[in-house]
Amino acid sequence: MTRWPLHFGRAVILAALLAVVPAMGELTVIHEAPGAQPLSDFLGTPRQTSIRKPLPQGPKAWDLRTLLPIHSPGLTPGPVAPRGHALSLTQPVFLIGAGERSKSWLTRHRARLESLGAIGLLVEAETPTDLEAIAELAGTLPIVPAPATDLAAILKIRHYPVCITPTRLWQ
């Protein structure tokens, strides 16, 4: 049995909450910065299937492999020019894939991402081995396996890896 690193616990809880939100009623906002938009607005619509599956129960409920594969159509590995943006996010976010370009970028920028308190979105991954490799490189950084097609479209991003701070994009 594979044991996921501790920091994946927060990611699993966030992913589980994002998966459950459509089934819940209206949410209560407990804090809102002026002009800020919640990250959930940009994570895309959960995949729909023709067969309704019950939510997993027990230990399997927290198995991240149930989220695989993760794909973000329109996003590919490549260069991103640093620039400002007008989207107001409440927390820095970075987009990465499971490929060598993203792994190298994450290794180079991990300390800076940690100091920013950034949350990572793993936007392309195929296998549990991909998840484990990124978790190993991320250290204490929270990583959430999630498509980011809508966020990328709003910011006119075609490539990853990229960090999105409240005012800038950088690679």
Residue 59 lies in a domain: no
How many structural domains compose the chain? 1
Residue 16 within any structural domain of the chain: no
Which pLDDT value is given to residue 65? Answer: 73
Specify the pLDDT at position 115. 96
Q: Which parts of the chain have pLDDT scores under 50? A: 1-24, 47-52
Residue 119 lies in a domain: yes
What is the pLDDT at residue 13? Answer: 44
CA–chain centroid gap for 38, Å, is: 13
| Domain that includes residue 171, residue range | 64-171
Give the per-residue pLDDT at 26: 58
Main-chain phi, psi angles of 9, to 5 degrees: -60, -45
Assigned token pair, 83: 């620039």
Q: Tell me the Cα Rg of the chain.
A: 16
User: Is 118 a member of any domain?
Assistant: yes
Task: Write down the pLDDT at residue 69.
Answer: 93
134 inside domain:
yes
Does 3 fall in a domain? Answer: no
Residue 31: inside a domain, yes or no? Answer: no
pLDDT at 3: 45
**Full strand arrangement of the beta sheet holding 119-124:** 83-84, 168-170, 162-164, 93-97, 119-124, 143-145
Task: Tell me the pLDDT tens digit for each residue of 83-97.
Answer: 999 888 889 999 999
- Ranges assigned E (strand) in the chain: 76-77, 83-84, 93-97, 119-124, 143-145, 159-160, 162-164, 168-170
